[in-house]
Amino acid sequence: KGWSLLATGFRHGQEASKCFQRALAEDEANGEFLAGSAIAAFASYTHSRDFEYKSDAKKKLSAIIQEEPQNYEAKMYLAKILERWDRPQAEALVEDVVRNSRDPEVLRNAAKFFQGEVPEKAIAILERAISLDPTYHLPHYDLGRCYKEQLAVADTGRREEILAAATEAFKMAVQKDPASVFAKLALAEMLGEKTPGYQEEIYLNLMSEVSTLSKRCQQAVYLHWGDFLLYTRESLPKAAEMYKAGFAIPDKYLERPQLKSRLQEVAEKFQQSSQTTEAKAIRDFINANERPWGERKSSDGNSRAEGTEPPSGSLS
């Protein structure tokens, strides 16, 4: 049961840990249970950011790697724990993973390690992950994200090339998983660079099915469609309605504070144009729907079964 819980998302790490603890009580030397307990401890840490879980995960993952030097998944998780505190050791672990792992998901997470500082290396790792399993949509999506980051700082002469590469990567992600909402949103954004009509079409299609999506995906759709209405169509009232619909969803995902920020921006624009009644209505709406959310805890899983990612994976 512990593995099944982890397969549905790292948010179930604590419950999975209990399952593996019960299993180990009956067979304390079982390697599969020990590995599961280590990964569940890491999952608990990524979901809670609790130091106790971090210490437990580091200890258990180190023990697993000592016994199984070719457990590259464990090495990648340990590298993530060490990333801020012992960068050289973390980088050594990741380099070992990149050289030897043939697991596309493990390689995808390894690419994230380099994405910010060495994007070309991240791209090369993702291309290798895709070559190992071309049907897996998340490496395609992450490849698109790498190109999108490059696009933001690209010289004029390279913009066309990078935009084409990002668009193609997101198209492949959607092709491999037509249900991936975040891949569709990313593709829409790239298409909108040249043809806003295509971008609008994707958003309208997503809006037509928004009630069937997860709460996380609903918030993302409302945010992106609202942005299109605000910045491209310059329709304050329609954009405000989309942002309000998203902000009214109380789940504490990354999109919610962005939706609040957009509502505040719209209220300020109304205020500047002397539409004080509309501005006050939005501020009252924010106050009425405000929640004392703490720091967001990641709900992203590390499994291909996790269907509502933004596919940045459990190591984001």
Per-domain residue ranges for the chain?
1-100, 102-151+159-204, 209-292
Residue reference for tokens 């512990």: 2
pLDDT tier for residue 239 given thresholds of 50, 70 and 90: very high
Which is it for the CA torsion 2, 42, 219, 274, positive or negative?
positive
Tokens 């291309």 belong to: 127
HSE, side-chain direction, 13 A CA sphere, residue 174: 16
Query: What architecture does CATH give domain 102-151+159-204?
Result: Alpha Horseshoe (1.25)
Mean pLDDT across the stretch 118-126?
A: 95
Q: Which two tokens stand for residue 92?
A: 């050594």
Confidence of residue 55 (pLDDT cuts 50, 70, 90): confident
pTM of this structure: 0.84
| Cα four-point dihedral sign 59, 62, 66, 70 | positive
What distance in Å separates the CA atoms of residue 10 and residue 3, rounded to the nearest whole number? Answer: 11
**Residue 38's pLDDT band (boundaries 50, 70, 90)?**
confident
Categorize the per-residue pLDDT at 291 as very low, low, confident or very high, splitting at 50, 70 and 90: low
**Which residue reads 């998983």 in tokens?**
177
CATH fold match for the domains 1-100 and 102-151+159-204: yes
| Angle formed by the axes of helices 51-67 and 72-82, nearest 10° | 140
Is residue 159 predicted with pLDDT exceeding 90? yes
Question: For residue 20, is pLDDT > 80?
Answer: no
The count of C-alpha atoms lying within 13 angstroms of the C-alpha of 180, restricted to the half-sphere facing its C-beta, is 29
Arithmetic mean of pLDDT, 244-263: 93
91-104, pLDDT tens digit by residue? 999 999 999 999 99
Phi, psi of 195 (to 5 degrees): -135, 85
Lowest mean pLDDT among 96-110, 249-263, 286-300: 286-300
**Architecture of the domain whose range is 1-100:** Alpha Horseshoe (1.25)
pLDDT band, very low/low/confident/very high, at 49 (cuts 50, 70, 90): low
Assess contact for 246 and 226: CB atoms under 8 A.
yes
DSSP assignment letter at 191: H
pLDDT of residue 292 exceeding 80:
no
Instruction: Tell me the average pLDDT of the chain.
Output: 86
